[in-house]
Structure 1
């Protein structure tokens, strides 16, 4: 078995927080990205997701900090989805790969430019169009399942 310290290989991930908000989740998150990464690293985590509300503003600083700590940065956001009745619910999504990352950015941009209804909302049809490479989570208390 290779020695990871000598071969610069990544440790196998155990538990990973997949629904995390930072100071970029206005009125909800208060943790600063450097503190999130530092705390996760001190706790032995090898990966961490960032799923700020309706935005991807924090992904670049999140990635840079995670990279500096040899931690895998998992890109995501918590979308505001408008259901068929026009009522918004929350849907955390994660990018599985580069195509998913591009789709994540497409959805966030479209929500801010074309779907702003007090919040940057995504129409369900837009999600269907840009779903490749994305993983949807169901664990939000303001999600459609919990509602």
Structure 2
């Protein structure tokens, strides 16, 4: 984040919001938890219970922790909330797929999030762009673009 922030133009930096919106409070915690669980179910679909059980087998608090991360970091605010940085369901999956693809060695997680991106097609009110990103063609484009960027970055490392 530090490098990204350093690379931003000053006018962009000054245009970013400065108030926290993703902090649990007694008034909003239930809304956050609901959004986190809904996002997890939207990503994993019929495999949600299987994924929760697998996470539980690793550590009894892991599934709840993941849902809390989804709630505070990834889940979109309600559509009626015009919030800067409020990514759509499809774009959230694009970010997850890109991160997991660059990380490597996490094939099962990557596959789950690729399927999650494909499931984003079923979210009501998608933009044309989001619907395309959630198509098989869109997913292929995301993976190929990440691979192309990663290849370019790796070739620059050897200079």
Q: Do they fold alike, i.e. is TM over 0.5?
A: no
Name the structure, 1 or 2, with higher relative contact order (CA <8 Å, separation 6+): 2
TM-score under structure 1 normalisation?
Answer: 0.23
Q: Which structure carries more helix by proportion?
A: 2
Of Structure 1 and Structure 2, the greater strand share is in 1
Compare CA radii of gyration and give the structure with the larger one: 2
